[in-house]
Amino acid sequence: MRSVWQYHLTKEMEMAGEVDLNAKMQEIQQKAQEFSVNIMALQDTLTRQNAVVSSEMAHNTQKANLVQGAMQDVKQTSRTN
């Protein structure tokens, strides 16, 4: 049979364990929140980079179309001469 002091010591140990678990849970939640913020920042960065790449692709397509049109003009001019 446990004595009163053993009972109280056991209760204190259980409470300390619960405090440790609660502290660990809070730490894990904090890390998860930081991770989530980092993921959102990465998504934002990728979205902005994608917009830049899309804009550059559109500009390059426009330049390619101008070059192709100029080449056709040169062909037409050389045929008529």
Give dist(CA 59, CA 61) in Å, integer.
5
The count of domains in the chain is: 1
Give dist(CA 20, CA 28) in Å, integer.
12
Query: 10: Cβ–Cβ under 8 A, 6 or more apart, which residues?
Result: 2
Encode pLDDT of 17-62 as tens digits.
777 888 888 999 999 999 999 999 999 999 999 999 999 999 999 9
Residue numbers of the domain that contains 44: 1-81
The model's pTM: 0.56
